[in-house]
A = this chain, B = another copy of it.
Amino acid sequence: MKSIDQLTTIIHSGIDKINWKKEPRGLYDPIDYVLSLGGKRIRPLLTLMACNLFSDNIQPALNTALGIEIFHNFTLLHDDIMDRADVRRGQLTVHKKWNDNTAILSGDVMQIASYQFIAKTPEKYLKQTLDLFSQTAAEICEGQQYDVDFEKRENVTGDEYLEMIRLKTAVLLGCSLKTGAWIGGAGEEDAKNLYDFGINIGLAFQLKDDILDVYGDESTFGKKIGGDILCNKKTYLLIQAIELAKENDASELKNWLSTSDPTSAFSKINAVTSVYNRLGVKAICEDKMQFFYNKGIENLEKVSVSENKKQELRNLAEKLMLRQE
């Protein structure tokens, strides 16, 4: 078994080896830029770890893992245009550094590149990997569309939100694990359990993100605290707060949700956070996160390999839950 650190090194070296220094440079330079910004590389890591549960040779899963990471970065590139986000990982986003058209077109070719890597999946597993990958990719777009739709809706329920983040975030973790398991030679039940592990850890991961966006430490989180509050993002915290708030809290929340004056940003973040505190929605969100985390661990327990082989995946899941960034 390879350690997380060893696998991460393999992934970084795999990404570094891809040649994006191609013509026309206006098309390929932004891809090189986006992939050089770093990131946790969780998805390809999950692919290799899942493969490694069933096979000592993780090499056959490397291209698939890279394809998934390229796809993930493509979604960030296009999402940043749609969200008008200026900064990603402390650097200018592509549409800010270049322009919208470049970001659209480089994103398009990045999506194609992700399929070129997926196509290098060992032929025995190609068709099923391709189908799961495409289904997952479409689900991610669906999740993004629901996210956009929810911005304009007042009455989003907690369950609708969870379904949205399942599509937008969790399915790609599930896909990463399942394809890795297949390539490692896993049986269908083990592959399914790893997929479900990915879904549940993914849901917990996103809920953690929502909490960090309000309660994180700016110096470690890497993003401005309160961004979700400022743009009235229908996170699990806000949905719970809207459901629970009565009288003064309800009217205060309602007032702040209709305020978009940038000069009152600081007051808005403080006031909404205070409402959250009074209603105890952080604990509700943490409970939900813990619930999915536990479900994920149960899925992992069912995978028919020895406990010590699964230890690294358990460590990774725990690290994602305890993270402050």
Contacts and interface: CB of A to CB of B under 8 A. Distances in A.
Given A24-B142, A82-B104, A105-B141, A119 B111 contact: no
Contacts of A123: 127
Interface in A123-140: 123, 126-127, 130-131, 134-135, 137-138
Nearest to A83: B101
Contacts of A24: 142, 145-146, 149
A26 B148 contact: yes
Contacts of A148: 26, 101, 105
B142 A108 contact: no
Interface string A77-111: 01001100000000000000000110011011101
A104 B81 contact: yes
A193 interface: no
A238 interface: no
Contacts of A149: 24, 26
A88 B280 CA distance: 53
B126 A112 contact: no
A144 interface: yes
A109 B142 CA distance: 8
B78 A104 contact: yes
User: Which range holds the interface residue count of chain A?
Assistant: 35 or more
Number of copies: 2
Contacts of A127: 119, 123, 126
A24 to B, nearest CB: 4
Contacts of A104: 78, 81-82, 104
Contacts of A142: 23-24, 27, 109
A146 B26 CA distance: 9
B146 A134 contact: no
Given A27-B141, A148-B101, A78 B116 contact: no
A201 to B, nearest CB: 24
Contacts of A82: 101, 104-105
Contacts of A105: 78, 82, 141, 144-145, 148
A134 B81 CA distance: 24
A138 B126 contact: no
B130 A112 contact: no
A215 interface: no
A113 interface: yes
Interface string A222-249: 0000000000000000000000000000
7 contacts: A78-B104, A81-B101, A82-B101, A115-B130, A116-B134, A116-B135, A116-B138
Query: Lowest 5 A-B CB distances belong to which pairs?
Result: A27-B145, A109-B141, A82-B101, A24-B145, A112-B137
